[in-house]
Every structure is written in structure tokens, then in C-alpha cells.
Amino acid sequence: MSDIQGIILVVDDNEMNRDMLSRRLARRKHTVITAKNGQEALDLIGKKSFDLIILDVMMPGISGIEVLKILRESFSATDLPIIMATAKSESEDIVEALKLGANDYVTKPLNFPVVLARVGTQLSLKNSQDALKSAHDRMKLDLDAAAEIQQKLLPYNLPEIDPFVIAWKFYPCDELAGDFLNIFQLNENEIGIYIVDVMGHGVPAALLSFSVSRNLFPLAGPDSIVLNSGDTPGVVSPAEVLTKLNTLYPFQTNKDRFFTILYGVLDIRNGQFRYSSAGHPGPLIISSDQSVKEIRSAGFPIGIVGEPDYKETTITLDPGDRMYLYSDGFIEERNKDGDLFDINQLQESIKRNYPLTLVKSLENTVNAIMAWHGSEHLSDDLSIIGVEIK
């Protein structure tokens, strides 16, 4: 039998039964409080927390069954275990009590070793449940703190680069996202832009996306992968950045841990966007005539092969153009019938929202996917960056 002690409420209208059971439980170092009827029991439970209740079925006034019904409206079977005490001949009471949420039962006359064993079992179960809940609560606090940090790392202070407008939306499907995005100044004329999408979700994916974002931080020095230093200062080409990332994250031995990325450099002098993709969807461009063009991109995700040959593509943005970079959550979300919100629907949403501001167009596109899915709890993270030249 478990040595776990608890605060136990014994409810019985028979004083001798209350006294004998209380004494046996007290010898096991339990704290015992008694109630002589159902109303007294409910009053005590309203004022004090108990670990277990031993509840007689047949009592004048409010019966044990009625007390059980009332308690289960506020307390689950794991929060407050209840053992019903009933006569051997009252099998219907036992069945009804178990259906209403009783954890266990004992029969009268009480066999005290059996009662003590069942009390020990229920207290052990409750102790395990309480420990799990405490661990879950701690983990939830940690996840919430990590999610807050992840949100604070997003680019809220965007570079001012008139006549360009840049906006983004980031919507994780869980507390922590495997997606990440950033927009940052490389020098007075060039802006770095990327979206990362780590396979999987939760803590491992978030830690990897955080690590990647740190390596892409635009800090000059010998360890930088986006800025050259020394005798040849300047911006590292997008293809070379992806090659360096592939060297830093050699996951060839673990195909379940890799990520896609689109990394590019926007030259604000001429509107040229040079980028490379590692398994990531290519940009969508919408022109002032509201024609949408999908630019397909090739390239192995980071960590799949040892020596990938990443290619570089250059797009020139003209006045009135908008460019959208997005994670695959925008084209792989399913509705309740299993149908995809695919690239065609994404393009239609972009066209439909072109007359609106860039920020509003991104908000409406995210809302369109949520409406399609039918819930705010999506199956994948959503990350999207919009770049507009006025």
C-alpha cells in the first residue's frame, strides 16, 4: 500500500462508522475530517481542500449520489477522488456512482484492509496526476516565455527605405514556431531578407530556427556569413550564404531535422532582389495590372546533401510591383474536407487584396487561410513578407 498521506473527508451518517474509519486512517498518518451528512460535506468542501473523499451512499437529506453529482460539476475524478461506500446488496448504486464519476467503491460492512488499500491507490494516482500537472504547468510557463522571446526577435523596427514598403505576418501554429523571418540593413543600399522553415514543430524546431537566425545576424566580423570582412568587405552573395549554412548544419545523417530557407538581398537603388532558395517556395510577384507571376525555385533544403549547388536568381521590381515571400503553410493548409489551400488560391487572395495597403493584404491573406481551415489552430506555421515599390 502507498505511504502517501492525504487530507481525507469521511462522510457517513453513522457515528460509529465515522469513528472507526477515522481512527484506522489516522493510524496511517492521514489527516481525517468527518461530516455526518451530505450538506455538511458540501459546506466543508466549499471551505477546505481535500485529497480524497469516502462518501456513504445512503444518507438522510442529500444522498451520497446527489453529493457526487454536485461535486463532479466542479471537480474532475483526478482533481478530487471519491470512494463510495455502499451495502453489498445495492449493486445498482455502485453502477450509478461509477457512471457519475466515482473513482472506486467499498462495501459495508467495511473491510478495513481493503479500504486502506483502495485509499492508498487513489492517493497515489492523485499524487502522480498532481506531479504531472505541476510539470505541465512549469513547461507551459517555459514555453510561454520562449514564445515571448521568439516574438521579440521578429523585425518590428523595419528599415526606412522609401520608395519601398516592407511588411510581414508571422503566425505560429503552436506556442513555438519552426518558422522565422527577418528583414535587416546590410549597408546603406542593401537590405537582407529571409524566411526559414524548419521541419517539425515545438521546442526542437524553434531552437533550430533560433540558431539559424543568430548565424544570419548582420554583424560584421570573421564569423559573419552575410557580410565579408578584412580585405574584401561587402555583402556575401545569397548562394554563398546558403552554402555556408549547409556547412554549419550537416544533417545528412538525420533526415528528420532540416530546414528550408529563401535568402535574398534587395538593392534599393535599382529595385533588384537577388536571392537563393534551399527547398523553399519561390516569390510571387504582382504587378500594377494585377497579373501574378510565380517564380519557381529549386535547391536542396539545408542539411540534405553535402555539396549542394545553390543557384541565384535576380528579380527587378518596378513601381507598383509587390513581391511576396512565404512559407509553405500558405499552400499546404487543408480544410475539413481535406482540400488544399493551394498556390492558385494564394495568388487569388493576393490579387483580391492588391487595392489595399500591403499590411492589410497580408492580414487578409492570413485570415483567408484560417477561414479555409475553419480554426485558428492551423497545422503549420504561417510566415509571409511583402515588399512593395511605390
Residue 374 backbone dihedrals phi, psi, to 5 degrees: 90, 5
* Residue 267: per-residue pLDDT: 96
Given 141, 172, 191, which residue is the final one in a domain? 141
* Residue 222: per-residue pLDDT: 75
- Rounded to 5°, angle at Cα 53 from 102 and 25: 130
Domain assignment present for 231: yes
Let me know whether 130 and 200 are in one domain.
Answer: no
Let me know whether 65 and 158 are in one domain.
Answer: no
Give the C-alpha distances (Å, rounded to integers) separating 309 from 5, 43, 244, 274.
66, 74, 12, 16
Average pLDDT over residues 76-91: 88
Domain assignment present for 158: yes
Domain assignment present for 368: yes
Model confidence, pTM: 0.71
Between CA 361 and CA 292 the distance in angstroms is 14
Domain assignment present for 2: no
Let me know whether 136 and 160 are in one domain.
Answer: no
Domain assignment present for 137: yes
On the question of pLDDT at 149 being above 90, the answer is no
On the question of pLDDT at 254 being above 80, the answer is no
158 DSSP assignment = -
Let me know whether 285 and 367 are in one domain.
Answer: yes
On the question of pLDDT at 49 being above 70, the answer is yes
Q: Residue-wise over 337-368: b if at least 16 C-beta within 10 A, else e?
A: eeeebebebbbebbeebbeeebeebbeebbeb
On the question of pLDDT at 135 being above 90, the answer is no
On the question of pLDDT at 231 being above 70, the answer is no
Between CA 81 and CA 97 the distance in angstroms is 12
329 DSSP assignment = G
Average pLDDT over residues 291-311: 89
Cell 492570413 belongs to 366
pLDDT band at 83 (very low <50, low <70, confident <90, very high): very high
* Residue 364: per-residue pLDDT: 96
Contact 192, 182 (CB under 8 A): yes
Domain assignment present for 1: no
- What confidence tens digit (pLDDT) does each residue in 111-120 have? 999 999 999 9
Number of domains in the chain: 2
pLDDT band at 1 (very low <50, low <70, confident <90, very high): very low
What value does the mean pLDDT of the chain take?
90
Given 93, 113, 141, which residue is the final one in a domain? 141
- What confidence tens digit (pLDDT) does each residue in 356-385 have? 999 999 999 999 999 999 887 888 999 999
Average pLDDT over residues 206-211: 87
Q: The domain that contains 300 carries what CATH number?
A: 3.60.40.10
Average pLDDT over residues 228-234: 75
Whether the upstream peptide bond of residue 283 has omega within 30° of 0, thus cis, is no
Let me know whether 349 and 237 are in one domain.
Answer: yes
Q: Residue-wise over 319-329: b if at least 16 C-beta within 10 A, else e?
A: eebbbbbbbbb
DSSP of 3-57:
----EEEEE-S-HHHHHHHHHHHHHTT-EEEEESSHHHHHHHHHHS--SEEEEES
Query: Grid coordinates in use for 39?
Result: 450538506
Domain with 262, as residue range(s), is: 153-389
Domain assignment present for 147: no
Let me know whether 102 and 192 are in one domain.
Answer: no
pLDDT band at 31 (very low <50, low <70, confident <90, very high): very high
* Residue 322: per-residue pLDDT: 97
Let me know whether 178 and 324 are in one domain.
Answer: yes
Between CA 365 and CA 382 the distance in angstroms is 10
Domain assignment present for 134: yes
Let me know whether 69 and 167 are in one domain.
Answer: no
Q: The domain that contains 133 carries what CATH number?
A: 3.40.50.2300
Let me know whether 25 and 160 are in one domain.
Answer: no
Let me know whether 174 and 266 are in one domain.
Answer: yes
Average pLDDT over residues 231-256: 82
Given 141, 167, 193, which residue is the final one in a domain? 141
Let me know whether 281 and 383 are in one domain.
Answer: yes
Let me know whether 118 and 219 are in one domain.
Answer: no
